[in-house]
């Protein structure tokens, strides 16, 4: 059985898992919401980050069995990634005009190298 937990999904430990932990560990994890930091399509056991919560310090757990986690909130479907080139405006991505617009393939034709390069200009 494979449980997919996408990156940035919010999760918490299941009641079943919390019930078998030591009282100290249970107290530190009960009710805390963590964020998945790895992609379960590539990593079977994700890394989960728990930010500072009240008097509880931040915590990063590696290789957590996904069967011990329950999904609290899925990540947003449309992710906006920051620009890697210092905030330069990409008019092709924001709907503005540009001198060189890449053409879309017709009838599933392959794009030429120059068309591919235009996507990243």
Please provide residue 68's backbone torsions phi and psi, each rounded to the nearest 5 degrees. Answer: -90, 0
SS3 percent helix, strand, coil of the chain, rounded to 5, is 20, 15, 60
% pLDDT > 70, the chain: 63
For 31, 84, 110, 112, the CA distances from 105, given in Å and listed in that order, are 50, 27, 7, 10
Examine residue 106 and state whether it is found in any structural domain, yes or no: no
pLDDT for the residue numbered 8: 94
Examine residue 40 and state whether it is found in any structural domain, yes or no: yes
What mean pLDDT is predicted for residues 36-56? 90
* pLDDT tier at 78, thresholds 50, 70, 90: very low
Examine residue 110 and state whether it is found in any structural domain, yes or no: no
What mean pLDDT is predicted for residues 77-84? 50
Residue 68: closest CA among 29, 107, 113, 27: 29
Examine residue 34 and state whether it is found in any structural domain, yes or no: yes
DSSP readout, 49-95?
Answer: EE--BTTBPPEEESS--GGGEEEEEPPPSSPPPPPSSSS---HHHHT
Q: For residue 6, is pLDDT > 60?
A: yes
Q: For residue 36, is pLDDT > 70?
A: yes
Q: For residue 54, is pLDDT > 60?
A: yes
* pLDDT tier at 110, thresholds 50, 70, 90: low
User: Count of domains in the chain?
Assistant: 1
Residues 6+ positions from 42 with CB-CB distance below 8 Å: none
Q: Which one-letter DSSP state was computed for residue 121? A: -
Examine residue 83 and state whether it is found in any structural domain, yes or no: no
**Full domain range(s) for residue 27:** 10-73
């Amino acid at each position: 059985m494979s449980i997919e937990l996408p990156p940035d999904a919010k999760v918490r430990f299941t009641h079943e898992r919390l019930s078998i932990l030591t009282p100290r560990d249970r107290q530190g994890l009960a009710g805390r919401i963590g964020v998945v930091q790895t992609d379960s399509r590539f990593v079977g056991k994700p890394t989960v980050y728990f930010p500072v919560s009240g008097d509880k310090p931040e915590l990063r757990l590696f290789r957590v069995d996904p069967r011990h986690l329950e999904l609290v909130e899925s990540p947003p479907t449309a992710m906006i990634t920051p620009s890697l080139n210092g905030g330069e405006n990409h008019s092709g991505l924001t709907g503005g005009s540009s001198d060189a617009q890449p053409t879309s393939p017709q009838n599933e034709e392959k794009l030429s190298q120059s068309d591919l390069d235009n996507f990243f200009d």
